[in-house]
Structure 1
Amino acid sequence: MKINRKLMKSDERATFELRALYQQYGYTQFKMGKFEEYELYVRNKDFIASDSIITFNDAGGKLMALKPDLTLSIVKNYHHVPGYVEKIYYSENIYRASKSVHSYKEILQTGLECMGDIDIYNICEVTLLAAKSLAVISSDYVLEISHMGLIKALLHPLEDEIKEKIVKCIGEKNLHEIHEICRVHAIDHHIERSLEVLVSTYGNYRKVISELKKLNLTNGAKEALDELDTICGVLAANKLARNINIDFSIVNDMTYYSGVLYKGFVNGIPTSILSGGQYDKLMERMGKKAGALGFAVYLDSLDRLEPYEKMYDFDVVFLYDEDSDISQVLKEAKTIRDGGSTVLVEKTIPAKLTYKRLVKIENGEVRTLERND
């Protein structure tokens, strides 16, 4: 049976099309259960976006949790094969406080992970798929990109406590506080100047990267910037540059993330619906000898993109009675459905049902009894 995508809700249609996109690029589906040992989230609490976790004791008394995150479970079950990159996608529910209703909710999340001996090709491919994922949902989207490797390289000479303060300020675009921290701790003026450009420059990747290349950068910072330039160049080659912004206020914990970071937005939804990045440090912390990156698309807010409320429950209500030729009723109803309409076949009209057209077979022909469109 051919699927009529017009009848799908936004999240259903997005799930269907995202799966097809990921499969097209060679990603295989990863399935998992709904529960995980709570201890996994305790050990990695800073990695999880929400500290509100639904827990319960299983039959053996072990403390379990409804999964608030999928990446940790995927990494936990990953086995490294040298020279190989494992590419998987998922479409599963997570359980956390929803951004849209501010209460516990079962949230459908679709995304992908690329794990193993990843290289610049893999990073470019995942970034490309992040942009294409947003395009599936809406043509009016923005993918914002940052790079923790560049930020880490700039802050390398500093003590960890100062690094954390500055990273927080970068996330808040608090340039005044960055200058104050640099003054109090007598931080080198080259670092201060680099941080100033990092915070104040935003938008088109060519403009941002051009400004950063004027700075006196370390070799590590230059390598990260060159990688970012290559990634954005691939997006531009795929005619996606106009939907891409560089924004270094997208920051994350340096104990987990090491490279590119993403946040994705579509017009009509005030919060990000896509997030992710390169999390080599998480792999290392969990004893995995591999790199990794990926992203998740949060589908619980897509109902805001519904173009309109359904005016009718069905396009056509097809009435029949005891004297009707059932074979003809089935045939004529199929003909209407094949034309793209929804058809409900009933003996009587259900109460409060709305429809565009009411039809019935009379004298061997389908006749319209009522129209409401």
Structure 2
Amino acid sequence: MELEKLLQPKERASFELRALYEAAGCRKYHMGQFEEYALYQENQSFLPSRQVITFTDLDGRLLALKPDVTLSIAKSAQPAPGQTRRFYYNENVYRPSAESGAFKEIAQMGLEIIGQVGGAETGQAVALAAQSLDILSRAMGPDWRLVAGHMGYISALLDAVGAPAHTRQGLLSRLRARSGHELRTAALDAGVGQAGAEALAGLLELSGPAAQVLPRAAAACRSDAMAAALGELRGALQALPGGAGGRVWLDLALSGEMEYYNGLIFQGYLQGAPRPALRGGRYDLLARKFTPGAGAVGFAVYLDELDRAAPPPAQSAAPAMLNIALPKGRLGDKVYSLLAEGGCLAPEDYNATRRLVVEDKAAGVRCFLVKPSDVAIYVEHGAADIGIVGRDILAESEADVYELLDTGLGRCRMCVAGPAGFADDPGRPLRVATKFTRIAKEYFARQGRDIEIIHLNGSIELAPILGLSDVIVDIVETGATLQENGLAVLTGFMPISARVIANKSSYQFKRRQTDRLLEGLRGAIARRAHNKEETR
């Protein structure tokens, strides 16, 4: 007991997880820090990031600091036909940090079941995942939630609506972001029709406690394959330990990369931690690269998330406040007005005060006033549960958040602009001035155009006028500034408006409050549209 008091929460959790996995029949797998780079190069689609630290060994071999453990286990497990092998590991991996972008050593535990894997083995993995989260929560204090879905259900629906293969990754990315508005647009562009687009968007509604979701998911089935996937989910839930059921939700929009996950998929969250503390699922495709006919299921536990999980505040009868990051300035005024119209908070002129935090205790809402470019950062890191941010900032930052609603505020578009009558010379790189470097690079990469980026922070229109660049990539609302300076829009490629975003972990624990806010905003948007129509 005295020893336990000396251990840090992460250390206590590590000991308990090890005991749990060994009791489940898992054998410890240990690997060195290095692996031959060829393993990762040949299996890049199975890695969380394609960025790997490499070096040349004294014997000339190209080695890598391991970015992943599952690949090594899948390679070395080699189960015999009909055999099931169970492993657990406690290793450090080396990946780019979500916070800094620099490489970081990440403490990771996990287990893998490889070989003959059926419903019993999948159910065991899900049950152990739930027990793992329970151990993590006991070590730190916050609540936990395990969210499960099935890639087979999504894939079968994509088949049923006739989504072309080349469009599916794009559709999945919008599902992962819970971006219903973008998903509908992409689905229509993919040619699945209005009914198909609505069916795909309907996946976003199939989320919540299993008892509520399963009947609706069954009614939405369009094929035997969808029904079979749902049956696997139902079977896995039956293996859960007593008392875990209320903390396990279904989310039929939960998806991973199609090259990796092919069946059940799940993620675990700790209250107060901004990112999933556990990820896993069926990954038969990877297992079969090394052992034909094998199946595999497993998960990783990210122990470092315990350092980020803030213990919840003292127990109170009142629900926790919903924290909203609002952009300062003109867009912030519009957003605040829309929130007030939707009954989400009391009307207040926050410009009349120097306060950076505005609370409405009656509505259970706390608003932070931050720079527009920082909204997504506050939300992604969990300092805010909800944020309202322009799509331009969201795309440039690539923040890992849910995009829940298009408010329609601040409509404009991202454009390529240049001198009127500009003629591109494909024989040399195009010089592009912009503050949206990621957006510009991705746009011109899709065009197959070689460019030279010139990063500027303001007065972008000056660049082509003074010969610093050939063209610019910038936001255009009316085009008046361009015209006054002898410039013109050459092409517009991204519609922009203010979007409601949510932290992925907060969304799990404050779903009811978030949905109430979204309902209020949708009502206010609809009333504005109706009033505008009547005045025409």
Candidates 258, 261, 265, aligned match of 1:261: 265
Shift of 1:232: 2.0
Match of 1:251 in 2: 255
What SS does the corresponding residue of 1:51 show, helix, strand or coil? coil
Residues 193 and 229 from structure 1, CA distance in 2 versus in 1: closer, same or farther, beyond 3 angstroms? farther
Matches within 5 A, 1:6-45: 6-45=5-44
| Distance in 1, Cα, partners of 2:79 & 2:166 | 33
| Residue aligning to 1:103 | 102
Matching of residues 163-202 of structure 1 within 5 Å: 163-187=168-192, 191-202=196-207
* 2: CA distance, partners of 1:195 / 1:259: 18
Aligned mates of 2:270, 2:136 — CA distance in 1: 8
Contact 2:54 2:65 in 1 (8 A): yes
Quote how far apart the aligned CAs of 1:22 are. 0.5
Q: 1:300 to 1:195 in 2, by over 3 A?
A: same
- SS of the equivalent of 1:276 reads strand
- Structure 1 residue runs of 5 or longer lacking an equivalent are 308-373
Q: Which residue of 2 aligns with 1:151?
A: 154
The amino acid that maps onto 1:173 is R
Offset at residue 268 of structure 1 (A) = 2.3
Gaps of 5+ in 2: 312-536
Q: Give CA-to-partner distance per residue, 1:304-337, whole Å, 9 cap, x none.
A: 4587xxxxxxxxxxxxxxxxxxxxxxxxxxxxxx
1:180-219: CA deviations, max 9, x gaps? 3343444266644432221223111121211111124200
**Is residue 291 from structure 1 mapped to residue 295 from structure 2 by the alignment?**
yes
For the residue of structure 2 that corresponds to 1:257, the secondary structure is: coil
Asked if residue 128 in structure 1 is aligned to residue 127 in structure 2, the reply is yes
Which amino acid counterpart does residue 270 of structure 2 have in structure 1?
V
1:39-89 deviation digits (Å, cap 9, x = unpaired): 211122222112331111001111100001000011111212111110110
Amino acid paired to 1:295: F
Partner of 1:207: 212
Q: Tell me if structure 2 keeps the 8 A contact 1:9–1:306.
A: no
Which amino acid in 1 is paired with 2:169? E
Report the AA paired with residue 92 of structure 1: E
Q: Which moved more, 1:289-298 or 1:101-110?
A: 101-110
Q: C-alpha displacement at 1:151, in angstroms?
A: 0.8
TM-score (structure 1 length as normaliser): 0.76
Distance 1:306 1:209 in 2: 33
The SS at the match of 1:206 is helix
Deviation at 1:292, TM superposition (A): 0.2
Deviation per residue, 1:110-142 (Å, 9 max, x gap): 110000111100000000000100100105111
* Residue of structure 2 equivalent to 1:74: 73
CA contact (8 A) 1:114 1:293 kept: yes
Secondary structure of the corresponding residue to residue 90 of structure 2: strand
The 8 Å contact of residues 97 and 105 in structure 1, kept in 2 or not, is answered as yes
Quote the residue 2:145 is aligned against. 142
Instruction: Give the counterpart letter for 2:299 in structure 1.
Output: F
Moved over 6 A (4+): none
Aligned residues: 305
Is 2:45 aligned against 1:46? yes
Compute the displacement of 1:30 (Å): 1.0
**Is this contact kept in 2: 1:14–1:136, CA < 8 A?**
yes
Q: State the partner residue of 2:517.
A: none
Alignment of 1:328-339 (within 5 A): none
C-alpha contact (below 8 Å) 2:84/2:117 kept by paired residues: yes
Alpha-carbon contact 2:149-2:252 (below 8 Å) kept: yes
Q: Per-residue deviation at 1:14?
A: 1.0
1:288 CA displacement: 3.6
Question: Separation in 1 of the partners of 2:15 and 2:212?
Answer: 36
Confirm or deny that 1:161 pairs with 2:166: yes
Q: Output the CA distance in 1 between the equivalents of 2:84 and 2:163.
A: 34
SS in 2 for 1:303: helix
**Structure 2 counterpart of 1:231:** 236
- The answer on whether the counterparts of 2:96 and 2:102 sit within 8 Å (CA) in structure 1 is yes
Q: Name the aligned partner's letter for residue 44 of structure 1.
A: N
**Which one-letter code corresponds to 1:239 in the other structure?**
G
Q: Deviations over 1:288-313 (max 9, x none)?
A: 43000100111123234587xxxxxx
Q: Is the 2:10–2:306 contact (alpha carbons within 8 Å) kept by the matching residues of 1?
A: yes
Task: Give the match for residue 63 of structure 1.
Answer: 62
Partner of 1:281: 285
- Equivalent-residue separation in structure 2 for 1:193 and 1:206 (angstroms): 23
Q: Residue 109 of structure 1 aligns to a residue in which SS?
A: strand
1:211, 1:119 → 2: CA distance? 25
Q: 1:92 Cα deviation (Å)?
A: 1.2
Larger displacement relative to structure 2 (242-251 or 87-96): 242-251
How large is the RMSD of aligned CA atoms in angstroms?
A: 2.0
Residues 174, 183 of structure 2: 8 Å contact kept: yes
Q: Secondary structure at the match of 2:176?
A: helix
Q: 1:199 to 1:5 in 2, by over 3 A?
A: same
Contact 1:100–1:301 under 8 Å retained in 2: no
SS in 2 for 1:56: strand
Structure 1 residues 109 and 216: CA distance shift in structure 2, 3 A: closer
C-alpha distance in structure 1 between counterparts of 2:49 and 2:9, whole Å: 25
How far, CA to CA, are the matches of 2:252 and 2:22 in structure 1?
31
